[in-house]
Amino acid sequence: MEIKEFGVIILAAGKGTRMKSDTPKVLHSIHGQTMISLVLRCASSLFGENIVVVVGHKAELVKAEIDQQFKVSYALQKELLGTGDAVRAAIPFLIDSIKNVLILCGDVPLIKKDTILEFVNFHIGNSYDISLFSVHLDKPTGYGRLIFNNKNELVSICEEADATPEQKDINLVNAGLYCIKKDFLVYALDLIDTDNFQKEYYLTDLVSIAFKNNSSIGCFLGNDPDEVIGINSVSDLKKVELILTKKIVANIQ
């Protein structure tokens, strides 16, 4: 099934320094399948060829792997200046008829088709300008924390590196997946700056921009944190392999 007027951007440009390997992060394998192929298999089953993969580090290796199985468009992030910059690079490659954009991460390989469909329907059904995927984590270290005001309105996402000790205690986190109206996305990307600890263009800044702009913000709550585990290290990879092994065994029994 394809969802009309929806395009997908998959972020796959990172080096993956903590993987301690020359192999691009998204090309590391889980049960014989690369991370990026797992994400693409899920996305293409819903959106067909309306997919733009943002490549950067060792781009030709990543493209060669993808081209064996999928037909997608590519955007090159020339300098690794953050997730906001990566999405900006992809915008010109979205076809004109696209009205909403789903943003996925190439290093979050356990996301399921049904979950993505539920997330997309949440976004479309409520006509939000931007919807983000959130989960509760017992140990939220490394994830952006969701910041609400006293009216229970989502006002921003604070990245780990910029968080205060109080904010680090928040366990409702951003999973890094978004649905965004294309018009709002194009508008808001021009307002992102690098005024943060890492001096990068954070895609998470879109939430605070939306709040200040009185744009509508949806916060989708996922019920399985395992689906949105991001792989940033060898230990993360082993953790995901174990989870997938258990799922495979459960399906056999």
Q: Which residues contact 88 (CB under 8 A, 6 or more apart)?
A: 189, 201
The whole-angstrom separation of Cα 172 and Cα 180 is: 20
Exposed (0-12), middle (13-18) or buried (19+): which is 15, by Cβ within 10 Å?
A: middle
The whole-angstrom separation of Cα 129 and Cα 210 is: 8
| 18 annotated active-site | yes
Catalytic choice (18, 41, 88, 145): 18
Give the active site residues: 18
